[in-house]
Amino acid sequence: MSILESFQLNGRRALVTGSSGGIGFALARALGQAGAHVILNGRSADKLQQAATTLQAENLSVSTSAFDVTRADEVRSAIEGIEAQAPIDILVNNAGMQIRGPLHEFADDDWHTLMKTNLDSVYFVSKAVAQKMIPRGQGKIINICSVQSELGRPGIAPYTASKGAVKMLTKGMAIDWGQFGLNVNGLGPGYFKTELTEKLVKDEAFTAWLVGRTPSRRWGDVEELGGAAVFLASEASRFMNGHVLYVDGGVTATL
């Protein structure tokens, strides 16, 4: 296999959670362009179908599976259904959310909601998929971390806690499952333009701070995450395990 061939995902099936829009959609598109059949996931069947229609119009192989990644029973049932059709070779745990606010005023319910979405979902979906991958002796799991897996900012302590936990869960998964032929790594985006960050992008003061703080001197475009995702999903990264690959314009490299 040549080095370029090792990046190809032809014949592979990839499940991407939270992929009806934003970063998840961009990652799904990249995996599809590399040759994988991509299974889009979210809670809204209508949004998933719209996303699937867009990618199918680009001649990509796409299907959908609507289920709530924060509900363990629902996850197990959905994974059984997907696996009954064909194996999941690649899992991207992208589903996540942000709730901002001063930590001393943070609502307990918001804490639990954020942790269920950002952390519990990674455990639930990864465990269900790994139980299928382990007997096959191979599989790729990519957990979407964040620069907040390493760095904090005012008003997002719970989010930072959740993404720090995802980083360490990624390492723990690699330690426990690497012996069975699984590769478990993280992808850590910096600040990217999405519908969820639109207000921050339009905030001139914040954007000026961010651009000055980022060595690349700009916001990221979600398409720029695709290469790293394909790398981690492909045979090109077969000896990587427990690593978090930051795609952040250099934010984690500078004070």
Catalytic site includes residue 191: no
**CA–CA distance, 101 with 98 (Å, rounded to integer):** 10
Extract the tokens encoding 107. Answer: 């609502």
Of 83, 85, 42, the C-alpha closest to 64 is: 42
- Report residue 117 as tokens: 């979405």
Rounded Cα distance, 159 and 167, in Å? 12
Residue 14 contacts residue 42 (beta carbons within 8 Å) = no
Give first-to-last CA distance, the chain, whole Å. Answer: 41
| Pairwise CA distance, residues 147 & 159, whole Å | 11
Please, are residues 41 and 48 in contact by the beta-carbon 8 Å criterion? yes
Catalytic residue among 123, 159, 191, 246: 159
Please say whether the dihedral angle defined by the alpha carbons of residues 193, 12, 65 and 60, taken in this order, is positive or negative: positive
- Determine the distance from the C-alpha atom of residue 213 to the mean position of all C-alpha atoms in its chain, rounded to a whole number: 24
| Residues with a known catalytic role | 159
